[in-house]
Each structure stands twice: as C-alpha cells, then as structure tokens.
Amino acid sequence: MSNLSIGKLIEKYPFVTTYLDENKLDVTGYEDLRFEEYLNHFSEEDIENWAIDKERLKEDLEIYINQMKEFLGIDDEEAVSSLTIIAGHDKSMNPEGFKEFTINKSEIISIVGPTGSGKSRLLADIEWTAQNDTPTGRSILINGEVPDMKWRFSSNNKLVAQLSQNMNFVMDLTVREFVELHAQSRLVEDVEDTTQKIIEAANRLAGEKFDLDTHVTALSGGQSRALMIADTAILSSSPIVLIDEIENAGIDRKKALDLLVSKDKIVLMATHDPTLALIADKRIVIKNGGISKIIETSEEEREILKKLEEMDTFIQGMRSDLRAGEELTVKN
C-alpha cells in the first residue's frame, strides 16, 4: 500500500478521495507521488500554520483503508480465476460421470437436463461452495483450493450473483435511483457515468427501451432482466454469475452473455434452449440429480449453431415487426 502512488491508490481504492477531502489534502498535480512523498513536500511553515501531523495522517490513512476494505468485503488476495466442481453422486447414490471439472473466467458453461433433473441443485452447490455437505456430496474449489468460509457467511463477500427467472422489485424507485444506490454502496467514484453505462448496456439487451426515470416496478420482465444483467456485469464484484433459463427473459441473450464474459465473469446457465446450449464452451448434462457427463461443443455443433442463430434472427425479426404493428409477409 505504501509503495503505491496516490493516483494508483485512488484507482485501487476510490474511497481514498473521501479521506483526502475530509483532511483538506489537495493532491492535484501530485498523483505520481507516494502519499509519504506528498506529505514531505509541505514546508515547515505549512506544517506549523496548518497543524499538519504527517505521521498521524499516514497511520490514519492505512487504518481508514483497512476499515473500508473490511466494510466493503474487498480482498487484495488473488482474484477468482477458476471454479472446480469435484464429483459427488446422483439421487440413487451412483457416482457422477466425471471426477472433477474446472471452469475458468470468461468461459460460458451451459447446464442441460429435463425439468426436475437437478440443474438448480448444481447452481445451489456452487453458490454455497459445497464441501461434501449437500445432498449431492459435491465439493467446490476456488482457484484449485478449498474456499475461505467468507464466501458462505459474509454479507459483503459474494462469490456468486444469481439471476433467477423472476425479477421482483419491492421498492418503487426509478431506474436512476436504483442504480445510483447500488453504485454509491460500492463507493463508485463517478456514479453518474456508471449509471449511464448501465442503462445503455441494459437497453442494448432489452426488447423495448426504457429510460432512467422509469420506475423499476413499471419495467416488463425482459426490461427487468436486462437491467439486472447490465448491473451485475458492470457493478457486481461477484466473479461467478449463475443464470436460470435466460431464454425466458425477453432480452438479446447472446449480447447478454457477451457482456458478462467481457467483464471476466465465470458464467453458468441452466437452459432448455439449443442455441444457448451450443453458444457455451461446454455443457453439463444433468440426469437423476447428478452430472451424467460433460460435453465440449464440437465443430459440427458450431455449424449447427450457425443455422440455429439464423433461425433465431429470423424469429426475432418477426417478433419486432409484430411489436411494431406491421403485417408479416413471405419476405419477412
């Protein structure tokens, strides 16, 4: 921490600007200096006139940063780069069809299987970082190691952001108020710019655009899902995103996945949609509550995906025409 320049310190911990403002320390033009070097630029006359206690300011800054890190759940340890699932058993206590499976950041994994087969149970095991203590007997490793229990019990450290099929808002806020509250809770330096980025990203996903003054309770299901995906991608610190049946969201599904992956998230999605299943790098097949097998998307399946995407584009185009009140023709 003491080796970082003031500029790097603010970049890493934006809340440091609050400490500087409260202590009336103007660092403009001194961003390339370490905090100690900045304090040393004051003359003896400045120190006497302004009652500057350099040692106290250094100690208090370190205390302030540590307290804010604890409050916000910020961990300077290695970021989450991989998730490993160690096999358990199915409902009949038969061993699962693999030993262990590692997923790296920016990968998309689909989870397929009949309704009731156990897709949601797998998502729950990941969210709770199971350690052979759930009905499936699976264990979850983070970066190849048994994860710290903070992932289970801390309200600030959230390993997983889960996007369910239904998005229900209980507070009647505008979209602006909702996003700004989240941004402020994360101590984002430029709340207005971040809010604008989220609404723009959400509108690229939603079937029908909305603005910052729209009340969240007035959003359609698709608009709500688009907002939460954009918010999760841009603001959430959770490195893993679990999505349940994104095909029912009424949004541009491929753009949603591209947005999440571009933010270095590990994305797992339970789906019945063949297009989404083949967009994924690999897919997990669930049967009778267990993982039956893991399939890597083949080149032949990539060719099938192209045809499915063409069909999907055709259907989406017809849907847009219907929404616009146009008559459908053979050319459509």
Neighbours of 237 (CB within 10 A): 15
**CA 145, CA 43: separation in Å to the nearest integer?**
51
Cα three-residue angle 326-328-332, rounded to 5 degrees: 115
Q: What is the pTM of this model?
A: 0.68
pLDDT higher than threshold 70 for residue 73: no
Cα three-residue angle 268-273-275, rounded to 5 degrees: 90
Rounded to an integer, the average pLDDT of 157-171 is 69
The most confident of the ranges 15-24, 84-93, 276-285 is 84-93
How would DSSP label each residue in 135-163? Answer: TT--EEEETTBPPPTHHHH-SS--SEEEE
Reading the block at residue 7, the tokens are: 């500029």
Task: Mention every residue, 6+ apart, whose C-beta is less than 8 A from residue 179.
Answer: 194, 195, 198, 199, 212, 227, 231, 235
Q: How many Å separate Cα 1 from the centre of its chain? A: 26
Instruction: Please check whether residue 284 is in contact with residue 290, taking contact to mean a CB–CB distance below 8 angstroms.
Output: no
Name beta bridge partners: 142: 83, 145
- Given pLDDT bands bounded at 50, 70 and 90, which one contains residue 331? low
pLDDT recorded at residue 293: 95
Of 18-27, 118-127, 181-190, least confident by mean pLDDT is: 181-190
pLDDT recorded at residue 140: 94
How would DSSP label each residue in 284-331? Answer: EEEETTEEEEEEEPPHHHHHHHHHHHHHHHHHHHHHHHHHTTPPP-TT
Closest by CA position to 23, among listed 54, 44, 67? 54
- Given pLDDT bands bounded at 50, 70 and 90, which one contains residue 168? low
**Model confidence pLDDT, tens digit, residues 211-245:** 889 998 888 888 888 888 888 888 877 888 888 76
**Model confidence pLDDT, tens digit, residues 269-313:** 888 889 889 989 999 999 999 999 999 999 999 999 999 989 888
CATH topology of domain 82-297: Rossmann fold (3.40.50)
Q: Where are the beta strands (DSSP E) in 135-279?
A: 139-142, 160-163, 240-244, 266-270
- Given pLDDT bands bounded at 50, 70 and 90, which one contains residue 123? confident
Return the domain boundaries, the chain. 6-72, 82-297, 300-332
